[in-house]
Structure 1
Amino acid sequence: MHLEASIDVSRLLLQYGLPFRGHDESESSINQGFFLGFLRWHRDRHLDVGKVILKNAPQNDTLTCPMIQKDNANACAKETLKAIIGDLNEDYFGILVDESKNISHKEQMTLVLRFVNKNGEVVERFIDLVHVSDTSACSLKKAMYSLLFVHSLSPSKIRGQVIELEGSTSSDRNQAKYLLTKIKTFKFIFVLHLMLKVLAMSNELSKILQKKDQDIVNTVEFLNITKKRLQDMRENGWESLLDDVSSFCDVHDILIPKLDESYFPGKSNGKSLGVGYAHHLRVEVFFVVIDVQLQELNDHFDVVSSDLLLGMGSLNSVNSFSNFDKGKIMTLVKCYPSEFDDGKI
């Protein structure tokens, strides 16, 4: 009920294009945004909801902070996109691409789909807006094809195959066609799915590390959980990843190679390296990517650093020293032998 109230208010604001936050979001402010205002209105008119939201919610679970508001908006965007893709019904579609500079003079590209829906009506639906390095035809095409795959839209369903942008040359078109052939390969999709899974774990940890009010003990524990998840993926995630990639390729008509056949690198002049395609993907891509990520975490948060953080967290006086742990404090003390001799320990 608590979560649904926040989502309902988010959907209302998104439907009418209203801003979520105001000039000052503090409790005593009279310049709070629409999100908190509508949430209070919702509370005052639905007593059962009012019992579990805002001041009646747990202090660390009010679901009103800016990050939660963004999560709600992103969730609504994904659901909207799913509905649009469902309306496509795996049929052909056209693409409208436009570019312009924003107020910061950064180049940006918008992507709009035009298609005939299930009711036989021609509709146009906005999909995404992304910043691009430049607005040449080739650059826009690269960004466009990347967006299509991110949103699970098959470029093979584009009416006319290649979109003609204003000012495009035959060289641009050839580059775009070449790029499309590279994107529509099993290995590209494999790497895309692998990075999505690995970066999703890292992103969750990154958000926690950036919280100003995050408890140190909880942070270190989540760090260890992230390492365990990556290790578990390394040991047990190969088959499920391969199944996901194969299913994606089946849906989008992408050729699935025979994984037990010999692997031929792109610049090997037709010479095999003596390993199978599955071995190449698993050992030289899958393991390597996960190992690099684990090594990165271990380099930034080694055992000593974690012991220091946990020891300091145990000295935190919040909630009557709720994180107090004698063992962790003793480990912290032993990191400073010049300050604490055996007698002091």
Structure 2
Amino acid sequence: MPTASHLFSSAAKIYIAGHRGLVGSAICRALAQAGCVNLLTRTHAELDLTDQAAVRRFFAEEKPEYVFLAAAKVGGIHANNSSPADFIRDNLLIQTNIIDAAWRSGVKKLLFLGSSCIYPKFAPQPMREEHLLTGSLEPTNEWYAIAKIAGIKMCQAYRKQYGFDAISLMPTNLYGPGDNFDLHSSHVLPALIRKFHEAKNNKLPEVEIWGTGAPKREFLHVDDLAAACLFLMEHYSDAEIVNVGSGQEVTIAELAALIKDVVGFTGRIRYNTAMPDGTPRKLLDVSKLSALGWQSKISLAEGVASTYAWFLQHGQNSRL
């Protein structure tokens, strides 16, 4: 079993904001496996992160030493398009309240989690950290992206003005235990797991997938992201953002074939080429992270298999 980080002792008070989410729950698992026993968590019912007074009170009373900021209002294209005010307001409030209260209460270090959607819609591929703010955003999720960019800039501003040790990570497409498998609001990988699973159970002859299957995407298992978070908490302290990804990409067709095999669906895959493909390629340049000494360990095949196993065990209780 890995040992507690040199940065924080096993008894250090560590607050994980958003501990019930895909990322936050993975960070909790990683910290527990590292021997950290003093983890602070609060449900939304216990602490409304959009309430500045409540957040300040929590930090003043609990005085966490380290903070992983994984809390956010998230959703797919439809949610972003239909509730743009909610997405920009709630995310700005959550991250502003936590970053400011953390600094005020003397937190030693804070890690802020952004998203690869912060990069311009037509950023060169693979996307490097310096591509931030060099072009217009994807209109369907710009509200979320602008809030995340503001979070990055707030971390940089508090470092510059107050010397607050806040770092920002930009993860690629994530998947794993605790994912959202709802066909209307989930991302492509968990949605395909659900589609192939239901087609197998219902003995359907084929599964339809939108587009040509040609677009390329990068995927990172959420436990790999959590490992990277602990690594960077210990080994990185700078204003500049760090991309976190696998550095590998697959076509949607390759992904579908892998998931079909893992699930055990024996029918056909039919591509509905009348439907749009979306962005041809989305890959993060992870050379900065690699130079720091970290690389992902969970292969896509291994990750999909373990995620499907989790879905089989917890699927009816997850977001379907």
Q: TM-score, normalised on structure 2?
A: 0.26
Structure that is richer in helix per residue: 1
> Relative contact order (C-alpha < 8 Å, sep 6+): which is higher?
2
Structure that is richer in strand per residue: 2
Q: TM-score, normalised on structure 1?
A: 0.24
Structure showing greater Rg: 1
